[in-house]
Amino acid sequence: MTIDHTYQALATVRDALPALEDALAPGTPRRWSQRDLTPDQRGQMDALARLERDAKEGNLAQGIKALGTGRAPLDLAVLDALAVITVGVAELEAAVADRLGLTPLHRASTAARITRIIGLLDRIAVQDDLAGHVEAEAVRLARSARRALGDTEPVHQLDARCPVCDSRSLRAFPERGLVMCVNASCQCTDVECLCHHPRPRRHWWPANEWPLLARVLRDDLGEAS
């Protein structure tokens, strides 16, 4: 785990919470109540999202649109994102507390849970499997928050050829900590790599492999010159 990368992802989620609450129902004073969810409450939240989505789609199919003077409908994308973040952060904080021998926060807000996880990052980092899980979840939740707010993930094109397929198709995704080859036909020589699976994943290098990739690219550029 890269502590700075995990911190940035968690801070992104925490900072996005007020904007997500405001975007839930634009033009209305309705606010999102963050709380410690029970399994039943999580089910109710998911059911509410499905019902509102089905109702909206059913009305649109019949040509029925919301009245201009009526209450603004809930933004279902934001509703889903808040549900994912609320549940995801609660489960992540509980997992961290369990591994570190701590007691999960009781009836805490999502922001408070994130703040607690951030404060434990130094202790989390010494346990590789826990650190990897926390980083992956933080990045996933940050992506959900940004997508719901219409903030697309930054992508940077690298001015170098892919060391696998030799095409100029390398892209960096700093939010996810990945460098990816976007050439769909790119396959490495490692048959165990996911780029060889029946449903292949694009070949990518996680952040911990970036120094090695940088050396390979630097050597290739040196040879080309």
Contacts of 95 (CB under 8 A, 6+ apart): 130, 133
> Which pLDDT band, with edges at 50, 70 and 90, does 35 fall under?
very low
> Which pLDDT band, with edges at 50, 70 and 90, does 189 fall under?
confident
| Distances, alpha carbon 221 to alpha carbons 151, 169, 224, in Å | 34, 15, 5
Domain boundaries, the chain: 3-148, 156-224
- Could you say which DSSP state residue 166 is in? -
The pLDDT value recorded for residue 1 is 59
pTM above 0.95, yes or no: no
48 pLDDT above the threshold of 80: no
Residue type, position 183, single letter = N
> Which pLDDT band, with edges at 50, 70 and 90, does 30 fall under?
very low
